[in-house]
Structure 1
Amino acid sequence: MNRKELIGLAETWFEDRGWKPFAFQKQTWNAFLSGKHGLLNAPTGSGKTYALWVPIVLNYIKNNPNYRESYKKGLKAIWITPLRALSVEIEQAATRFAEEMGTGFSVGIRTGDTPQKDRAAQKRSMPDLLITTPESLHLLLSSKNYHRLFKDLDAVVVDEWHELLGTKRGVQVELGLSRLKSISKDLRIWGISATIGNLQQAREVLLGPGSEALKNSKLIRAKLKKKIRVKSIIPDKMEKFPWRGHLGLHLIDEVVPIIKNSRTSLIFTNTRSQCELWFQKLMHKYPEFAGEVAMHHGSINRETRLWVEQAIRNENLKAVVCTSSLDLGVDFAPVETIIQIGGPKGVARFLQRAGRSGHRPGEESLIYFLPTHAIELIEASALQKAVQKTAVEDRIPYLMSFDVLVQYLTTLAVSDGFFPKDIYPEIKSTFCFHGITEEEWRWLLNFITKGSQSLQAYDEYKKVEIEEDGRFKVNNRGVAMRHRLQIGTIVSDAMLGVKYLKGGYIGTIEEWFISKLNPGDVFTFAGRNLELVRIKNMQVLVKRSKKKTSKVPSWMGGRMTFSARMSELLREEMYAAAASVGKSSAKVNEELSALKPILEKQKKESIIPKENEFLIETFKTREGYHAVFYPFEGRFVHEALGSLLAYRISLLSPISFSIAFNDYGFELLSDQEIDMQQVLDNDLFTAEFLMDDLYKSLNATEMARRKFRDIAVIAGLVFTGYPNKLVKSKHLQSSSQLIFSVFKDYEEDNLLYLQAFRETFEHQLEEGRLRMALERINAQKIVWRNCEKPTPFSFPIITDRLREKLSSEKLEDRIRRMMKQLEK
């Protein structure tokens, strides 16, 4: 059959279902069938699975004209997905098309959730399409004779590539693809990505810079104009002093009518703790929702999560309170309404969530935005413009992730072994390691065979042996087993299972939270108040509690920051807000109109900074002397900027500070007055000597030491334990700290040690963004206002700091008193 006839088969199949293929689907079919690689840019819910699965099946039909009579066994395509939850949807869509075309294709899933017997069956006979994760692909590469599994592979599809790009899982994909390209000469590689700012670079990272695959590739964009409507939930009465004490819970009564008027709703929160609180409050205040509202986040057990996903699909549930665990992929066609609690911190995340509503081609998406404090209405206004312009973030790929490379080389050594001369060109062909030098390569080979210069005396680090023929191989079964258990790049705090005393698994919780509790303490988890009985064998044993007050778990992942794009949009909106004060309400949108009393109060007490202005406010309270700075750059940049400025001020005169920060600005609080004129005269916002001053101000060595724990785990320097006997987090920390200290004292040129500092500056402190922020501030006119009392802009930062110290009841009382004084 020629290409036109093949595509005719697919079009007929679509017609039989009353569908019509989109232009982007036909473009992708044509490109794939003409032997091209590529990247498909298409929004969630637009039919992207059929865009790539269809041509894989058609290509098989083309190469096997007798496909209905004689079936050719073996793995033909791999579909890599970042989330296990996505795999069931892909399996259903793929099976449907393959069966109805009469190919006899089998579709299998292999993820961390796949039972052992299914994996063993797959080893004996691989499915035609394998849906898997980056980690499970590397596990296959660690098995003996893996070449045989992949020799007839025609295609690899990397789904949700924008989610993997900019993470070490993306580096895993790059390395896996570099190997598969060598094994299977006719391999076609395709990525699927939602909108990101750097699509061209995303394609280059996927296919390899300068590669033949890149030269013979296409970037296909689905030109589907998704209509997204953003509607803000604005309270009837606006407080003049916005604060974050309620996590948006004071607007719960505004949300309930929206839930009741929709067939199904997803209520997105930014953190698991916020998710728990919202669910609990809904159930407490509206008991009639029992059985109709559920909760979904990554720490709840798998059975419950799957039940929730199925129940909302069948419209058995009215609403689900969730976190980013439902950002992607679970195909909820019937979800009618999305509610976003608080700023989503990034445009792409917001668009992704909005796309879960009207999750069918051509349907409008409606997303409600609920501000947790008034100033977040400026975010809502900024997001509306971003949605119109589709102004989304870039995803920055990792470079020189030597920890992932050490893991990968050990994976190859565990399976059939490798010859460095064969593997080096493959590694150098990837985007991440394009710049690797011969010297660094020799160091890495030395590291996996001898454990580097300073660890040579310890046999446990000599994992890989060099055989007589020059092959690098792991021959120790214990080393191989431990390595396979630890393949992956997601390093979280040790997770403990939460179970009832009488049996019944509830979910997982991070060790660092539980370690702060004593037996008898009550905490909220999975929507229930649970009393801690004891911790035994990495399990938290609990019983239900009738106590009303409880602690809400917080997870390490709960600290999100503004993306650079979001910061930029927010600043633009802030300048628009400054211009809107004094104008008639008809000329401004409803968000800025609702903010009018706050903006007028801010203007009266201080200023609203314009585009060429940088605002500093100082005032005195009974807590001490406050200096608040407003770069509007996100909390990570403010954390670094606050420490940097505190350090530079302390060089002028001895003074100590406590630092508080949020996404809008940061506060330096001291018991003595800051000589602000001296700060301005000494050009403290200069980007000169930035790295030196950051080192000194932030104790960068301490931050790098913490970052090194993850690097040590990924590189296999420390072992996290066996499935039922995990090593405690504090032991992992102390083992990795010990190795860090050895490298610091005896081997400062160790590549993994240097990587810890590089990642601290590039990824944690966002040094590039920090430098740009300083350059921008330096070019602005600095406006210092010495105020009589806290201003509306400073109020959320102050209350955030107080929340760290006070219980929620005391905090509410304290804030009410403060607001009364400020309203006078």
Structure 2
Amino acid sequence: MNKPARRTAALQADPRIEDWFAARDWQIFDFQREAWAAYANGESGLIHAPTGTGKTLAAWFAALDHWLATTDDIDATPGLTVLWITPLRALAADTTNHLEASAAELGLNWTVERRTGDTKSHVKARQRRKLPSALVTTPESLSLLLSYPEHKNLFATLEAVVVDEWHELLSTKRGVQLELALARLRSLRPGLRSWGLSATLANLDEAADALTGGGPARSIRGLIPAETRIEALIPDTIERFPWAGHLGTRLVEPVIAALEAAETTLLFTNTRSQAELWHQALLRARPDWLEQIALHHGSLDRDLRDQVEAMIADGRLRCVVATSSLDLGVDFSPVDQVIQIGSPKGVARLLQRAGRSGHRPGVASRILCVPTHAFELVEIAAARRKALAGEVEAREPLAGALDVLAQHIVTRALGSTRDGGVEANDLLAEVRSSRAYRDLSDAEWRWTLDFVTRGGTALSAYPEFRRVEQNGDRLQVTDRRIARRHRMTMGTITSDAAMSVRFVKGGRLGTVEERFIAQLKPGDVFLFSGRLLELARVRDLTAYVKTATRKNRQVPRWAGGRMAISGTLADAIRALLEAARDGDYGEPELAAIRDLLEIQRRWSALPAADELLIEYVTSREGRHWFFYPFAGRLAHEGLSALVAWRLARMHKASFRFSVNDYGFELVTRSKVDFSDDELRAALSPDNLVDDLMACLNAAELSKRAFRDIARIAGLVFSGYPGAHKSARQVQASSGLVFDVLTRYDADNLLLDQARREVLERELEFNRVHAALARIASQALCVTNPPRLTPLGFPLWVERVASQVSNESWRDRVERMTVQLEKAADK
């Protein structure tokens, strides 16, 4: 028998918890007490507080305090009470250790375990019989649990779900998958509490709405003044005509000096390739630090990453070179400095990474940003302005993804086999209780049901697509083969097929994308896991390697490296350039590149916020047109194709183009001039969708997007363990299905979803539309500079680097740089 919950006006916690904080000389913050009281009252909500100020303790001790207040047997071991969702498997072990340790220190007999793809099979089998008091898991593993017939009993005592780093899941299909799983848990446990934790989020109301399915939600803000020191490493000499990556690792010496001044440092890069290069550069500069510098990114073997994380926690490392694999959650209190290589590209990312240092109340977070080209100094200054003003990016929740819904229907039908299936109407009501599907139409629901039960119009003749049996209003899965395949492929994470990398004599290093290995031949050398490796052979999706002695090497390029500046950061960049235009160089980073910006202003212009700068330059290649909307790389890819297509319809011309975060270049051999009216027409937001789809290879882009949709929706199967299909085979399978549906079922809703995802994800349609709408109200500032400007030069380099030429593109760039520098000196 449980005691009634006690809660006083002073929001006093159980004495064990009060003493636990006092023993560490830690202050209990008001937002933590507010969370404990809200939990005790049965509420759900979102806890939004800076990194390192105690969000985890606010949520975890809320559950422990409530249990202490309501149980008659403090020495008992409760059944599953708290389900803790983490976005990354890498966080699960650390989170489990922290929750388990704090419960034990309070003298509680709670069991805390984790369940992810890395969990041993015998542990998973035991958990299917009985879950611990608190389970740390991922969205994918939670959905897998819901697919088992015994899931009702497993979650019968669940009181609360805590979603850590909710902002990382929001606006992704993983977040949609979790919303559906939470809807199921709420149907099993109507009084279920749902709490989300986040440090960097602007749209809190939407985030809470998605978390609770529209239910009442308490928004708790941890207004703890956490000092964040954001500085830029300013090079001694700055080239006036920079290009992306031209600094490379040239700033390694001042970075070494920064490492020497701190005990422990996390050095973040934006890509795994860049992490490999910087790790190698640091070791070349300081070979005596071999045992003090480590590498950490998502493609490395899990055991290697665990070793690195343990060494960080123990203070045994001077520096860890990492990617987003260490952005989140893990409490590395020994780290007193963070270094960011390159622009953070977003304000939230900058704050998230800065929060890895200090990472405890009362200790300042410090981040040193190292530019990879001169214009990134502007981005760093812009990000600091927004960060200190508390302006971060919003994460818009996704809605209506039918591929995720189709997968969930199979999951629910599979998990209800002991009950004779799930009632279709009950399942519809459950699905619509989530924010992602609250506007799901009856027609969309009927279509999705037909898709999972018959395969839809075009695939109904193939038994393998009849995954769910419908008997009257009940849905169930009885075929063991279908059940096995579904459980193996559940989830929404899609990527190019990965190949395992192993030494010839044994020992696994991690994974590299198949398309990179496909470009190599035996004997080729590449850099991976911080080592120079020589490819020996490829067999059964495994690349066997040995240590290389030759220095010439390639670096793997992983998918996901196309990171664009956020809209929030772009606005701040435009504001700083306008300030420089008016002679305001107040930020130290702007003062450092004043000469560069003055050349841009003299030869062309520095755009004001209410202007669109357009430059045209004539060279031996023809006429170069440079446009600077500052809408981000991905949006500029769509804009460049759109504007080129529209201009070509006005004047007979063919264009080549290049893009970066600031703008795009169009080059034509025809030395054609465009009037302001023609430029306005090319930049019009009118008829945008049709024109975008017409100017691009829309069918090919949709086919590529459909590949991921087909995998999530269960249309293609990547193979059983030990017999995985290659990326080429999966691509061919999904391409064949795409062609069949396009020909025989043109109204298939998954095809429509693929087109929408091309617009929204590949081309950032909303951002393209917003940029064109803004341009419509701006003045056109069209200039004809005598040569490439500092803004135009990196776009020219981007295009030259992508061209196949007998001439070294770097030599060509160096010659052009010398010419421009001489002109600037005059």
Whether TM-score is above 0.5 comes out as: yes
Distance in 2 of aligned mates of 1:795 and 1:619: 11
TM-align CA RMSD: 1.7
The alpha-carbon deviation at position 9 of structure 1 amounts to 4.0
Q: CA deviation at 1:359?
A: 1.2
Quote the Cα distance in structure 1 between the aligned partners of 2:250 and 2:546: 30
2:275–2:295: 8 Å Cα contact kept in structure 1? Answer: yes
Aligned residue runs from structure 1 range 358-757, under 5 A = 358-416=358-416, 417-467=421-471, 470-580=473-583, 588-677=586-675, 680=678, 683-757=681-755
* Higher deviation after alignment, 634-643 or 726-735: 726-735
> 1:806: how far off?
6.7
* Pair 1:15 & 2:17 matched: no
After superposition, the Cα gap between the structure-2 partners of 1:509 and 1:492, relative to the gap in structure 1 and judged at 3 Å, is: same
User: Is the aligned partner of 1:30 residue 2:30?
Assistant: no
Task: Verify the 8 A CA contact 2:636 2:663 in the aligned structure 1.
Answer: yes
> Displacement, 1:245?
4.2
Q: Note if 1:89 corresponds to 2:94.
A: yes
Is the 8 Å Cα contact of residues 245 and 812 (structure 1) preserved in structure 2? Answer: no
Partners of 1:345 and 1:733 lie apart in 2 by: 31
Cα distance in 2 for residues equivalent to 1:27 and 1:814: 63
CA distance in 2, matches of 1:708, 1:162: 26
What amino acid is aligned across from residue 607 of structure 1 in structure 2?
A
SS of alignment partner, residue 503 of structure 1: coil
Shift in Å at residue 65 of structure 1?
1.6
User: Partners in 2 of 1:55 and 1:369 — Cα distance?
Assistant: 37
Deviation of residue 761 (structure 1)? 1.2
Q: What are the Cα deviations for residues 22-49 of structure 1, in whole angstroms up to 9, with x where unaligned?
A: 1111000001001111111122222222
How far the C-alpha of 1:397 sits from its partner, in A, is 0.9
Task: Identify the range of structure 1 (674-683 vs 479-488) with the bigger mean alpha-carbon deviation.
Answer: 674-683
Give yes or no for the alignment of 1:162 onto 2:167.
Answer: yes
Q: Is the 8 A contact 1:632 1:665 kept in 2?
A: yes
Question: Structure 1 residue aligned with 2:814, among 813, 816, 819?
Answer: 816
1:19 CA displacement: 2.3
1:632-677 per-residue CA deviation (whole Å, 9 max, x = no partner) reads 1100110000000000011012211111000011011222223222
1:186 aligns with 2:191: yes
Distance in 2, Cα, partners of 1:234 & 1:410: 55
- For 2:18 and 2:591, locate their aligned partners in 1 and report how far apart those are by CA, in whole Å: 51
SS in 2 for 1:176: helix
Distance 1:315 1:59 in 2: 35
Task: Please give the alpha-carbon distance, in whole angstroms, between the structure 1 residues aligned to 2:285 and 2:168.
Answer: 37
Q: Offset at 1:12?
A: 2.8
For the residues of structure 1 that align with 2:561 and 2:485, how far apart are their CA atoms?
A: 30
Structure 1, 344-353 or 185-194: larger mean CA deviation: 185-194
- Paired with 2:282 and 2:208, the residues of 1 have a C-alpha distance of 44
Cα offset for 1:410?
Answer: 0.5
Report whether the alignment pairs 1:116 with 2:121: yes
Match among 99, 104, 107 for residue 112 of structure 2: 107
Structure 1: which 5+ residue stretches go unaligned? Answer: none
C-alpha separation between the residues in 2 aligned to 1:681 and 1:507? 50
Report SS of the residue matched to 2:338.
Answer: strand
Query: In structure 2, the residue corresponding to 1:405 is in which secondary structure?
Result: helix
Q: In 1, distance between residues paired with 2:63 and 2:288? A: 49
Query: What secondary structure, in the 3-state scheme, does the structure 2 residue paired with 1:618 have?
Result: strand
Q: State the AA in 1 paired with 2:671.
A: E
- 1:240 maps to 240
SS in structure 2 of the partner of residue 3 of structure 1: coil
Shift of 1:289: 2.2
Distance 1:679 1:710 in 2: 41
Contact persistence 2:578–2:608 (CA under 8 A): yes
CA contact (8 A) 1:538 1:725 kept: no
**Structure 2: distance between partners of 1:262 and 1:17:** 25
Output the amino acid matched with 1:429. Answer: S
Find the aligned partners of 1:128 and 1:283 in 2 and give their Cα distance. 45
Residue in structure 2 matched with residue 62 of structure 1 by the alignment: 69
* Alignment partner, residue 136 of structure 2: 131
**CA deviations over 1:232-257 (Å, ceiling 9, x no partner):** 11111121111224353121111110
Q: Structure 1, residues 337-366: CA drift from partner, whole Å, max 9, x if none?
A: 111111111110010001111111111111
Distance in 1 of aligned mates of 2:239 and 2:699: 43
Cα distance, 1:222 vs. partner? 0.3
Question: How big is the shift at 1:56?
Answer: 1.1
Residue 773 (structure 1) aligns with: 771
For 1:42, the equivalent position in structure 2 comes to 49
Match of 1:153 in 2: 158
Instruction: Identify the residue that residue 336 of structure 2 maps to in structure 1.
Output: 336
The one of 79, 86, 104 aligned to 2:84: 79
Looking at structure 1, the residues matched to 133 and 200 of structure 2 have their Cα atoms a distance apart, in angstroms, of: 30
SS at match of 1:298: coil
Query: For 1:678 and 1:336, how far apart are their aligned partners in 2?
Result: 54
Cα 1:237–1:17, aligned 2, differ >3 Å: closer, same or farther?
Answer: closer
Which amino acid in 1 is paired with 2:722?
Answer: N
Q: What amino acid does structure 2 have at the position aligned with 1:171?
A: V
Identical aligned residues as a percent: 45
- 2:94 aligns to what SS in structure 1? helix
Give the AA of the match of 1:701. Answer: A
Once the two structures are overlaid, the 10-residue window that deviates more, 680-689 or 450-459, is 680-689
TM-score, normalised relative to structure 1: 0.96
Residue 678 of structure 1, CA deviation: 6.7
**Which residue is equivalent to 2:210?**
205
- The answer to whether the Cα contact below 8 Å between 1:293 and 1:321 also exists between their aligned partners in 2 is yes
Q: Is the 8 A contact 2:382 2:572 kept in 1?
A: yes
